[in-house]
Amino acid sequence: MTRTLRYCFLLLVAAMGLNSCYNYRQVGFLQERKKLPVYDSVPFNEYKIRVNDYVIFRIISLEENLTKMLSDNQSGGSSQNVMYYRVYPDGTIDIPFVEPVKIVGQTVAEAELTLRKALREVIPDADVKLALYNRSFTVIGEIKSGVYPIDRDRLTIYEALAISGDLANPGDRKHVRIIRQPNINEKPEVLEFDIRPNTVIDSKYYYIYPNDMIYVQRARGSFFRFGNYAGFIGLITSSLSLLISVLSYTQLKK
């Protein structure tokens, strides 16, 4: 009976050893294995301004009095001729002394040209420098959850994960989700993908846009896995000690 128990225990240990620790195939990025999904490359699309976004811009002009008047009578916020405005549900921003300017659906560069044209009706030599004020993304799940700023024009999924602290081993890399809100009255778009293949690069999952949410769920079976072999060896050592104690006690009782 004792020998049978030992054999069973050794088989259990072997089975656990094959499945208990994470390996490169399970958690590694940029893999080239044939069994992984293959994603098509798509061109990068510039972010287009949406309802409830905030834009921030600066007016540059020799007409200091007019510029100061706009700064002192605007409804957003200002500091040294830098102003920010909310995009209203009708797609416009409301600037004093200027007709509402519609910029929804435009890229930042296009909105800058639109705003410059509108302001030159009041300030003939006005130049405008515009940027998106709410440049951030959110991460939740098996990752360091939080809201993080986007500090570059093209932020990749790998850079976003690095900023937020990288994926935890229990995170399900096969079903990473990006939740994207096209516009306030539109249904959110859920992009689900396997982050491990190298074809993620330049695919539609590669770039992170303002207001994106990255969700990583916990992988099934991760409860029984260890981050490294040290933890697995510790479990085996403890189990062996328990088995030896049980067997010794059994021998003493005979």
Tens of pLDDT, residue by residue over 6-57, are 554 554 544 444 455 667 787 889 999 989 999 999 999 999 999 999 999 8
The per-residue DSSP string of 34-48 comes to TTS-----------B
Residue 196 has pLDDT above 90, yes or no: yes
Tens of pLDDT, residue by residue over 119-136, are 999 889 999 999 999 899
In angstroms, how far is CA 232 from the centroid of its own chain?
31
pLDDT of residue 244: 56
Share of the chain above pLDDT 90, in %: 49
What residues have CB less than 8 Å from 38, skipping those under 6 apart? 197, 199
The domains found in the chain, sorted by start residue, are 24-45+135-222 (3.10.560.10), 54-132 (3.30.1950.10)
Please report which residue ranges of 92-181 form alpha helices under DSSP H: 108-119, 157-163
Residue 188 has pLDDT above 60, yes or no: yes
pLDDT of residue 77: 47
Burial readout 180-196 (b: 16 or more C-beta within 10 A, e: otherwise): ebeeeeeeeeeeebbbb
Yes or no: say if 177 and 194 are a contact pair by the CB < 8 Å rule.
no
Torsion of CA 142, 144, 147, 150, to 10 degrees: -100
- Please list the helix, strand and coil fractions of the chain in percent, rounded to the nearest 5, in that order: 35, 25, 45
Average pLDDT over residues 189-201: 96
Q: Quick one: 18 exposed, middle or buried, by C-beta within 10 A (0-12, 13-18, 19+)?
A: exposed
pLDDT of residue 84: 81
Tens of pLDDT, residue by residue over 209-222, are 999 999 999 987 64
Tokens in use for 188?
A: 């959110």
**Predicted TM-score (pTM) of this structure:** 0.74
Q: State the number of CA atoms in the 13 A half-sphere of 30 facing the CB.
A: 4
Among 63, 36, 87, 73, smallest CA distance to 198 is for: 36
Average pLDDT over residues 130-143: 92
In angstroms, how far is CA 210 from the centroid of its own chain?
10
Yes or no: say if 161 and 167 are a contact pair by the CB < 8 Å rule.
yes
pLDDT of residue 59: 85
More confidently predicted of 158 and 5 = 158
Average pLDDT over residues 53-81: 69
Single-letter amino acid code for the residue at 222: S
DSSP SS3 for 58: strand
Say if strands 92-93 and 155-156 run parallel, antiparallel, or are unpaired: unpaired
Among 192, 188, 182, smallest CA distance to 157 is for: 192
Yes or no: say if 96 and 103 are a contact pair by the CB < 8 Å rule.
no
Yes or no: say if 112 and 133 are a contact pair by the CB < 8 Å rule.
no
Among 249, 251, 247, 243, smallest CA distance to 12 is for: 243
